[in-house]
Chains A and B, each alone.
Chain A
Amino acid sequence: MLGLGLIAGGVWSGQNLNPLPIDASTNAPIYDELFKVLFTIGIILFVGMLGLVVFSLIKFRRRPGDSGDGIALEGNLPLEILWTAVPAVVVLFVGLYSYDIYERMGGMQPLSHGGHNEKSIEVEQKIWGGIGSKETSFTNSSDKTISPLPVEVTAMQFAFLFHYPKGDIISGELHVPSGQPVTMKMISKDVIHAFWVPEFRLKQDVIPGQTTILNFTPTKPGRYPIICAELCGPYHGGMRSTVVVEDPDSYEAWFKQNAKEEETPLQS
Chain B
Amino acid sequence: MTIVSSTPNNQEPKSLQPKGWLKYFSFSLDHKVIGIQYLVCGFLFYLIGGALASAIRIELTSPVSDFMPRDIYNQVLTLHGTIMIFLWIVPVVNGAFGNYLIPFYVGARDMAFPRLNAVAFWLIPPAGLMLISSYFITGAAESGWTAYPPLSITTPAAGQIIWILSVLLLGGSSIFGGINFIATILKLRRPNLKLMQLPMYCWAMLGTSILVVLSTPVLAGTLILLSFDIVAHTGFFNPTLGGNVIVYQHLFWFYSHPAVYIMVLPAFGLVSEVLPVHCRKPLFGYTTMVYSIMAIVVLGLVVWAHHMFTSGTPPWMRLFFTIATSFIAVPTGIKFFNWVATLWGGKISLNSAVLFSCGFIINFVLGGITGVALAQVPFDIHVHDTYFVVAHFHYIVYGGSVFVIFSSIYHWYPKFTGRMLDETLGRIHFVITFIGFNLCFAPQHWLGLNGMPRRVAEYDPQFAFVNQLSSVGALLMAISTLPFLWNVISSAFKGPKAGDNPWEALTPEWLTSSPPPVENWDGEAPLVVEPYGYGKKEDQQHSEVTDQSNDFEKTMQKK
Interface residue ranges, A against B (CB under 8 Å)? 19-21, 30-31, 34-35, 38, 41-42, 45-46, 49-50, 52-53, 56-57, 60-63, 66, 68-76, 79-80, 83-84, 87-88, 91, 94-95, 98-99, 101-102, 105, 107-108, 128-131, 190-192, 194, 196, 198, 201-205, 207-210, 212, 225, 227-238
Extra pairs beyond A31-B382, A198-B451 (10, CB < 8 Å): A30-B378, A42-B373, A62-B347, A94-B376, A107-B318, A198-B450, A207-B245, A207-B246, A228-B453, A233-B154
Report the bound CA distance from A116 to B244 in whole Å: 24
Also in contact, A72 and B450, with CB within 8 A (given A52-B340, A98-B378, A237-B65): no
Whether A19 pairs with B378 at a CB distance below 8 angstroms is no
A14 to B280, CA, bound (A): 39
Of the candidates B311, B333, B450, the one whose C-beta lies within 8 Å of that of A20 is B450
Q: Which of B330, B343, B377 contacts A102 (CB 8 A)?
A: B377
Could you say which residues of chain A place their CB within 8 Å of the CB of B449?
A: 19-21, 198
Chain B residue, CB-CB nearest to A131? B312
- Of all chain B residues, the one with the shortest Cβ separation from A30 is B378
Residues A50 and B362 in contact in the complex (CB < 8 Å), given A60-B347, A208-B239: yes
Contact: A49 with B287, CB < 8 Å?
A: no
- Indicate if B361 sits at the interface (CB-CB under 8 A): yes
Least CB distance, A88 to chain B, in whole angstroms: 5
A87 touches B333 (CB 8 A): yes
A212 vs B246: C-alpha distance when bound (angstroms): 12
The answer to whether A61 touches B150, judged by C-beta atoms less than 8 angstroms apart, is no
Name the interface residues of B303-334: CB closer than 8 Å to any CB of A: 310-315, 318-319, 322-323, 326-327, 329-330, 333-334
Is the CB of B556 closer than 8 A to any CB of chain A? no
> What is the bound-complex CA distance between A105 and B354, given in angstroms?
46
Tell me, in angstroms, the Cα distance from A191 to B242 when the chains sit together: 14
9 tightest CB-CB pairs across the interface, nearest first?
A: A209-B239, A237-B456, A72-B535, A70-B346, A131-B312, A69-B535, A234-B70, A198-B451, A98-B376
Of B242, B246, B310, B337, which one neighbours A129 at CB under 8 angstroms? B310
Partner of A205, one of B281, B282, B310, B455: B310
Complex contacts, B70 vs chain A, CB 8 Å:
234-235, 237
Contact of B358 (CB < 8 Å), options: A31, A38, A53, A80: A53
A208 touches B150 (CB 8 A): yes
- A52-B340, A101-B378, A231-B143 known; A68 vs B280 contact (CB < 8 Å): yes
Enumerate chain B residues within 8 angstroms of A228, measured Cβ to Cβ. 453
Contacts of B378 on A, CB cut-off 8 Å? 30-31, 34, 98, 101-102, 105, 107
**Which of B336, B372, B455 gathers most chain A CB within 10 Å?**
B372
Q: A74-B284, A108-B315 are in contact. Are A91 and B330 (CB under 8 A)?
A: yes
Task: Name the one of A30, A57, A79, A101 contacting B341, with C-beta atoms under 8 angstroms.
Answer: A79
Cross-interface CB contact of A87 among B310, B330, B343, B459, cutoff 8 Å: B330
Set B282, B381, B450, B460: member contacting A73, Cβ < 8 A: B282
Q: How far is the CA of A198 from the CA of B460 in the complex (A)?
A: 13
| B416 CB-CB contact with A under 8 Å | no
Closest B residue to A132 using CB positions: B312
Asked if B382 and A62 sit within 8 Å, CB to CB, the answer is: no
Given A80-B334, A98-B377, A98-B378, A203-B369 contact (CB < 8 Å): no
Are A19 and B151 CB-contacts (below 8 A) given A42-B373, A207-B246? Answer: no
Given contacts A69-B534, A203-B385, A237-B457, contact A60 B150 (CB under 8 A): no
- In the assembled complex, B478 has its CB within 8 A of some CB on chain A: no
B382 / chain A contacts, CB cutoff of 8 Å: 31, 198, 201-203
Nearest CB of chain B from residue A263's CB, rounded to whole Å: 31
Q: Can you list 26 A-B pairs with a CB-CB distance of less than 8 A?
A: A19-B445, A60-B347, A66-B347, A69-B535, A70-B279, A70-B280, A70-B534, A73-B535, A74-B285, A76-B284, A87-B330, A107-B378, A191-B148, A198-B451, A201-B382, A202-B382, A203-B384, A205-B310, A205-B312, A208-B150, A209-B243, A229-B385, A230-B148, A233-B154, A237-B453, A237-B457
Query: Are the C-beta atoms of B286 and A229 separated by less than 8 Å?
Result: no
Q: A225 is contacted by which of B71, B318, B460 (Cβ under 8 Å)? A: B460
In the complex, chain B residues 345-397 whose Cβ is within 8 Å of any chain A Cβ: 345-350, 354, 358, 361-362, 365-366, 369-370, 372-373, 376-379, 381-382, 384-386
CA distance A101 to B379 in the complex (A): 9
- Once the chains are docked, how many angstroms separate the CA of A101 from the CA of B382? 14
Q: Which residues of A contact B468 (CB under 8 A)?
A: none
Chain B 459-470 interface 0/1 with A at a Cβ cutoff of 8 Å (1 = within): 110000000000
**Residues on B with beta carbons closer than 8 Å to the beta carbon of A207:** 239, 245-246, 311-312
Count residues of chain B with CB under 8 A from any CB of chain A: 97
The residue in chain B whose Cβ has the minimal distance to the Cβ of A38 is: B373
Q: Which residues of A contact B381 (CB under 8 A)?
A: 128, 201-203
Instruction: Please state if A84 and B288 are interface contacts (CB–CB under 8 Å).
Output: yes
The 8 Å CB contact of B453, one of A69, A196, A202, A208, is: A196
Q: Which of B154, B281, B286, B327 contacts A70, CB < 8 Å?
A: B281
Residues from chain B with Cβ under 8 Å of A203 in the complex:
310, 381-382, 384-385
- B144 interface residue per 8 A CB criterion: yes
B372 touches A94 (CB 8 A): yes
In contact, A69 and B330 (Cβ under 8 angstroms):
no
B155 CB within 8 Å of chain A: yes
Q: What are the residues of chain A within 8 A of B326 when measuring CB–CB? A: 91, 94-95
Report whether B245 and A209 are in contact in the complex, using a CB–CB cutoff of 8 Å.
Answer: yes
Q: Is B458 part of the binding interface, using a Cβ–Cβ cutoff of 8 Å?
A: yes
- List chain A residues, Cβ under 8 A from B310: 129, 194, 203-205, 229
Residue B166 CB within 8 A of the other chain: no
B194 contacts A by Cβ under 8 Å:
no
Complex alpha-carbon distance, A46 and B395, angstroms: 13
The reply to whether the CB of B74 lies closer than 8 angstroms to some CB of chain A is: yes
- Give the residue of B245, B314, B532 whose beta carbon is less than 8 angstroms from that of A208: B245
Report yes or no: B451 in contact with A70, Cβ–Cβ below 8 A.
no
How distant is the Cα of A99 from the Cα of B316 in the complex, in angstroms?
11
The answer to whether B446 and A205 have CB atoms under 8 Å apart is no
Contact of A130 among B312, B327, B365, B384 (CB under 8 A): B312
B391 → chain A closest CB, angstroms: 12
CB distance from A118 to the nearest CB of B (A): 22
**Considering only CB atoms, which chain B residue lies closest to A196 in the complex?**
B453
User: Within B150-168, which residues are at the interface with A (CB < 8 Å)?
Assistant: 150-151, 154-155
